[in-house]
Amino acid sequence: MIRVLLALLLLALPVRAEEIVSGVSQSGVSITTNFDGTAILVYGAAIRDRPAPDWPLLQVIITIEGPSAPLVVRKKERVAGIWLNRGAVQIASAPSFYAVATTGDIGDILSPEADAKYHVTIPQTIKAAEGAAGGSAADQGQYVAALQRIRAQSGSYRLAQDSVLLLRQSLFRTDITLPANLVEGVYKVRIFLTRGGNVVDMQESQINVAKAGLERALYNLAMQSPLVYGVLSLLMAMVAGWGASELFKRVRF
Residue ranges in contact with other proteins by CB under 8 A: 31-37, 69-78, 81-85, 88, 90, 143, 146-147, 149-151, 180-181, 183, 211, 214-215, 218-219, 222-223, 226-227, 229-234, 236-238, 240-242, 244-246, 248
Of the pair 204, 246, the CB lying nearest other proteins is at 246
Q: How far is the CB of 122 from other proteins (least distance, A)?
A: 14
Q: How many CB atoms lie within 10 A of CB 216?
A: 15
Per DSSP, helices labelled H in the chain are 2-12, 106-109, 112-118, 122-125, 137-153, 213-224, 226-250
List beta partners, residue 100: 63, 159
Of the pair 116, 180, the CB lying nearest other proteins is at 180
Q: How far is the CB of 60 from other proteins (least distance, A)?
A: 31
Of the pair 77, 162, the CB lying nearest other proteins is at 77
C-beta separation of 50 from 24 below 8 A: no
Q: How far is the CB of 167 from other proteins (least distance, A)?
A: 35
Give the CA count within 13 Å in the CB-facing half-sphere of 81.
Answer: 0
Of the pair 151, 190, the CB lying nearest other proteins is at 151
C-beta separation of 13 from 7 below 8 A: no
Q: How far is the CB of 234 from other proteins (least distance, A)?
A: 5
